[in-house]
Chains A and B, each alone.
Chain A
């Protein structure tokens, strides 16, 4: 039987991503602001989709209790028709957590790039940084 920890570790190690289509990205950005496009790799020079690391989704979800997570899901599903009247606190918190996780990981990559001594590693890290900054 797989435990929750086993499941989460497997998820983290497989480096899976959740992909949001450009349409979904723009819908969420309209409702929750520009932090939406920093939740993962935004393919700004391509199809406009976002790839969010699965382990980041798991970590952001774990930062909310069950009731808050349920509220966040409900708010994320909202059409925006009554945006001004709705409470988006939990969804905003979830999105902000995802964005800050991804930006922190980006900063870590920059630090590793500055400290790396192996040319191949340096090239690989820069390719990832340039991809994040300028698109695929």
Chain B
């Protein structure tokens, strides 16, 4: 399984994440969970996938992270 290519996270998505962390829409503990999950090098499907972290969700496709969803937005793709 290829390593998640974080450099391919669109800059606008990264900025959006920053804003949501700053305004506490994203919980600090959930960001810690994201870091530990990233560092665990999870096995991800080739197609679209979604991981729920509580105050936000991460959607990707294969090794490419695509976007962060809010708590209220439904996941799409395969739940991981």
* Chain A interface residues toward B at CB < 8 A: 34, 37-38, 42, 44-45, 99, 103, 106-107, 110-111, 113-114, 122, 126, 129-130, 132-135
User: Is the pair B36, A103 in contact by a Cβ cutoff of 8 Å?
Assistant: yes
Contacts of A111 in B (CB 8 A): 28
Pairs A-B, 4 closest by C-beta atoms: A34-B40, A134-B6, A37-B39, A110-B28
Residue of B3, B5, B6, B41 near A133 (CB, 8 A) is B6
Q: Residue B79 at the A interface, CB < 8 A? A: no
Contacts of B80 in A (CB 8 A): none
* In the complex, residue of chain A having the shortest beta-carbon distance to the beta carbon of B36: A38
Interface residue tally for chain B (C-beta within 8 Å) = 22
CB distance from A134 to the nearest CB of B (A): 4
Contacts of B34 in A (CB 8 A): 133
Given the known interface contacts A37-B40, A44-B6, A110-B21, the answer about A134 and B32 at a Cβ–Cβ threshold of 8 Å is no
User: Is the pair A113, B21 in contact by a Cβ cutoff of 8 Å?
Assistant: yes
User: Is the pair A103, B35 in contact by a Cβ cutoff of 8 Å?
Assistant: yes
Task: Tell me the complex Cα distance, A54–B35, Å.
Answer: 21
Task: Tell me the complex Cα distance, A34–B24, Å.
Answer: 28
Task: Tell me the complex Cα distance, A99–B24, Å.
Answer: 24
CB distance from B73 to the nearest CB of A (A): 20
- What are 24 sample pairs from A and B whose C-beta atoms fall under 8 A apart? A34-B41, A38-B36, A44-B3, A44-B6, A44-B38, A45-B5, A45-B7, A103-B36, A106-B31, A106-B35, A107-B31, A107-B32, A110-B28, A113-B21, A114-B21, A114-B22, A114-B24, A114-B28, A126-B21, A130-B14, A130-B18, A132-B35, A133-B6, A135-B6
